[in-house]
Amino acid sequence: MSARVRAFVGAALAALCAGALLVDRSLQFFIGRDSSLFLYVARRVQEGGVPYRDVWDHKPPLIYYLDVIGVTLADRGIPGVAVVEFASMFVAAVVGFWALHRTLGLVPALFGVVAWTTAIAVMLDGGNRPEEYAIPLQFGAIALYLAERRSGPARWRWTLVGITAAFALMLKPTLLGMWAAIYLAEAARAWHLRSLGALAPAVLLGAVGFLAVTLPVGVYLAATGAASDFMDQVIRFNLEYSRSSLFDRLDALAAGVKLTLFSGLLPIAVIGWVAAIVQLARGTAGVATRPLLLVAILALPLDFALASATGRPYREYFLGCLATQGILSAVAASWARPALEGIAARLALSPRLVVFSILGAFVMFFASAIPAVASYRHEVGPNDQERTRPIATAYVVDHTASTDLVLFWGGEGGLNYTTGRRSPTRYAYQYALYMRGYQSADRIGELLLALEREPPALIVDASPATIDVPPLDRGERASWTLGEPKYAVLPEMELIFRWVEEHYVRVAEVGSLRWPIYERRERVASALR
């Protein structure tokens, strides 16, 4: 590939990634709930805090430190995070293209990259998700594996595979499908060679790379007094959070399939998956191509199974399935290319013209989902929650000083970031107090003690935005029904409700959801004098 072609491809990939992010942002009305919480944790880290110890959350730690970079690049965070997202996506596109180009050729590689980047544009849902930051790691792992099979053993490659797996784990454990597929493919190779010893370097060197990342992280958490909190929140809570029935998992799987069906990515990926199976079964795949085909065949079901494992049909969970589908789309294009060239020969047309025309038509088909989603989103407009959150943010900013503490009651702890106001407790959102098998009277006591020690200037009751958290008002609580079967309200919560009643008065309601605002009685009385 000439320098001119490389420059063109690089510019095209950069434009694709920037375009995907611009499309996603054009569909958003306000910063997302999860994204704003990650940014709040990042802000607390900037101030000397530590995840888990100072802010309760159940995500692994890497997302917070990526957001620290974003907040450092731009004080309000959002533009800086967009830069981090673009860098991550561009690296994924370049590494993925390089790996696929070396194995399948220029046209299939470009087709595969376009396939997943157009799909991500309608799936990011505001972005700043752990799953999107794993895509360059997934492509990096497969590129390293293909280089190992193509160029022969090199200790550093398997070590790097282990390092990429560790960083993926630090984003989310359900993103490890690609690495599981790589090691299953390597185990199959060792079995074929009748030598389990052939698997040893991959396992041992991968473990070295994995530990090179996870051990320092563990030391840091232990040194800052956050290790036990990490174990409690990221492992223990997530075990309870992930408990789900087979029906729930199938329902979540169906939701994930619909997302990639809509963009047109999954049907092409399935064609590539079947083509890969056929080529391996018939022995028609080239030597350099076989490792890629085997890993992709294994990774597709693993990715979807892991993404739906919690039984929660959240679209961002399925971002982790895009890398494999991009690879399989490239496989489909590579498999179809000889047939398309044969058709061109019979029609006395240029093979290149026919191939580019047909694959270009599929690209247009992928891209056609974007305006449809944009039109629907803007026609429907923001939902009640999206309309209420900026109004609540504005109210808090107008009625408090930057040094005041504010408690958002419910699942809206991320508004501590958008308002620039610190929470008086590490339970910036309070799901930990309700999860069956995890909740405890001690946690409720910890929250009460924090509120007594540093009473917030305002309490914003965001419970109307969720089915999980009871309202603070006693009368509204009497007619409230818990809508989440995994949650329960302990009797000790009455201590929190009584404390709020004794020390706060309802002063306003904001937004279409009418979130109640509570202010300290002393401040209200002082204002009336």
* DSSP tag of 196: G
Buried b (16+ CB within 10 A) or exposed e, 421-457: bbbbbbbbbbbbbbbeebbeeebbebbbebbeeebbb
Q: CA 331: distance to chain centroid?
A: 26
Residues for the chain: how many in total? 529
Q: Sheet containing 515-520: which strands, arranged edge to edge?
A: 406-409, 458-461, 515-520, 504-510
The burial class, CB within 10 Å (0-12 / 13-18 / 19+), for 91 is middle
* DSSP β-ladder status, 458-461 and 406-409: parallel
Distance CA 472, CA 496 (A): 9
Task: Kindly list the distances between the CA atom of residue 507 and the CA atoms of 346, 459, 516, 520, in Å, as whole numbers in the listed order.
Answer: 78, 10, 8, 10
> Are 419 and 408 in contact, with CB atoms under 8 Å apart?
no
Residues 145/205, Cβ–Cβ less than 8 Å: no
Q: Are the C-beta atoms of residues 143 and 98 closer than 8 Å to each other?
A: yes
pLDDT (tens, 9 = 90+) of the chain, 529 residues, equals: 677 778 888 898 999 899 889 888 888 878 888 999 999 999 999 999 999 999 999 999 999 999 999 999 987 767 899 999 999 999 999 999 999 999 998 889 999 999 999 899 888 888 899 999 999 999 999 999 999 998 888 889 999 999 999 999 999 999 999 999 999 999 998 888 887 778 899 999 999 999 999 999 999 999 999 999 999 999 999 999 998 888 889 999 998 888 888 778 899 999 999 999 999 999 888 888 999 999 999 999 999 999 999 888 888 899 999 999 999 999 999 998 777 777 767 766 676 766 777 777 777 777 777 787 777 777 777 888 889 999 999 999 999 999 999 999 999 999 999 999 999 999 999 999 999 999 999 999 999 999 999 999 999 999 998 888 999 999 999 999 888 888 999 999 999 999 999 999 999 999 999 999 999 998 877 766 6
* Alpha-carbon span 359 to 324, nearest angstrom: 19
SS3 409: strand
Q: Is 237 exposed, middle or buried (0-12, 13-18, 19+ CB in 10 A)?
A: buried
Report the predicted TM-score, pTM, of the whole model to 2 decimal places: 0.93
